[in-house]
Chain A
Amino acid sequence: MAKIVGAITTSHVPAIGKAIARNLREDPYWKPFFDGFAPVHRWLERVRPDVAVILYNDHGLNFFLDKMPTFAVGAASEYRNADEGWGIPTLPPVPGSPKLSWHLIERLVGEEFDITTCQEMLVDHAFTIPMALLWPGKGAWPVRTVPVCINTVQHPLPSAMRCYKLGEAVGRAIESYEEDLRVVVIGTGGLSHQLDGERAGFINKAFDLEFMEKLPSDPLWAARRSIRDLVELTGTQGIELLMWLAARGALGGEAVTVHSNYHIPISNTAAGLMLMERRAA
């Protein structure tokens, strides 16, 4: 049977893509951010997941306001990145895992999550930057992927509790899959930031740190809050913490932090990184 080996949550700021392309990992601005990934790289080397289920939010590459799914699951044999309009380099196609995708789709719909299915799907920086951060410079990607996209563009957004429960259902679906696969669940986005309005530049370090501290042991601390309150606390784009809650939900039960990093600022964003595992029984 498939097994979830852990959950990784990370920011996905577009500027990271430019920094990787320009090889700025050792640059003083970037070093505290990139150095945070070394323990995660060692963990990935050791655990060697076969598949990554990636919970992310599209920013207007694949989905537009003409059709805006609340939850969408990719079911393609590969996922392509494309020009997003402001010049971050595109990445090579990422292999999919369509059989696992359809298993997730069956299980999620069976649990009353009425998701949209996508046999063709462009994946944007929220998917590709975490891939590039977690598996840098490998040429061929060492994992297959299943993208799960959550709408954070157009309100009403799904509630934080709904995203957490979606993650729980994703976790149950993965662990009911018959093939022996090691699966890592990845949630991308956040932490606090706001790009738009007179409050642009808003960052809430105190909230972010408490969120990261509570996520393994008490995810409902954040999940029970309203979208409106979470936007007030984390910013209009900080609401991307929904993906962290979903990834945490997939782990289920009790979890522990294996590694974390937090750095302000990357571009306009408080950048966070966590690696969580289930607490050993």
Chain B
Amino acid sequence: MPRPASIPGTTLFDGAAAMKGYALNKMCYSFNSAANREAFRQDEDGYCARYGLSPEQREAVRHRNVLELIGAGGNVYYLAKLAGIFGLDVQDLGAQQTGMTKDEFKAKLIAAGR
């Protein structure tokens, strides 16, 4: 079947991404538990190793870079749990991905309502 035309700036989390990102997303899913979040904080390398992250995924986590994490198969619903460990909310994530400051990103959202 032909793949649907891509949407600029947008990744559909499909089967290929779900396979590629499985280890990373599984690690992020574990962060529903406060004890696991603390274990990650205590030993990030060890925690990532335990989940078998690929080198690309490990680097993306190290860089705290959302676009890299998505490129490595991360799904934003699970990545949000990782971001929470760093104290980042979805507007921080939006600002980082669009190359804006958080205030600029918030202003963009408000402007969308006009």
Contact = CB atoms under 8 A, between A and B. Distances in A.
Contacts of B101: none
Given A85-B31, A268-B91, A199 B8 contact: yes
Interface in B12-45: 12-15, 18, 22, 25-26, 28-29, 31-34, 37
Given A61-B32, A86-B83, A199 B10 contact: yes
Nearest to A199: B9
B84 A86 contact: yes
Nearest to B19: A65
A251 to B, nearest CB: 28
A201 B98 contact: yes
Main secondary structure of the interface of A (DSSP, over half): loop
A279 interface: no
Interface string B72-90: 0001111111011100011
A60 interface: yes
Nearest to A85: B81
A60 B78 contact: yes
Interface residues of B, number: 49
Contacts of B106: 265
Contact of B76 (A86, A198, A236): A236
Nearest to A236: B10
A25 interface: no
Given A65-B26, A85-B31, A200-B94, A205 B113 contact: yes
Contacts of A198: 8-9, 67, 97-98
A144 to B, nearest CB: 26
Interface in A45-91: 59-61, 64-66, 82-87
B75 to A, nearest CB: 6
A264 B77 CA distance: 22
Interface in A222-240: 226, 228, 231-232, 236-237
Contact of B109 (A60, A85, A196, A201): A201
Nearest to A194: B10
B37 A231 contact: no
A263 B112 CA distance: 10
A156 interface: yes
Interface residues of A, number: 40
B4 interface: yes
B67 A83 contact: no
A176 interface: no
Contact of A268 (B9, B34, B94): B94
A153 B18 CA distance: 10
A203 interface: yes
B54 to A, nearest CB: 16
B75 A85 contact: no
B105 interface: yes
B33 A231 contact: no
A195 B76 contact: yes
Contacts of B67: 197-198
Interface centre among B9, B75, B79 (most CB of A within 10 A): B9
A267 B90 contact: yes
27 contacts: A60-B29, A61-B32, A64-B26, A64-B29, A65-B25, A85-B31, A85-B32, A85-B85, A86-B83, A154-B18, A154-B75, A155-B15, A156-B15, A196-B66, A196-B79, A197-B10, A197-B11, A197-B70, A198-B98, A199-B9, A200-B9, A200-B97, A203-B112, A203-B113, A236-B13, A237-B76, A264-B109
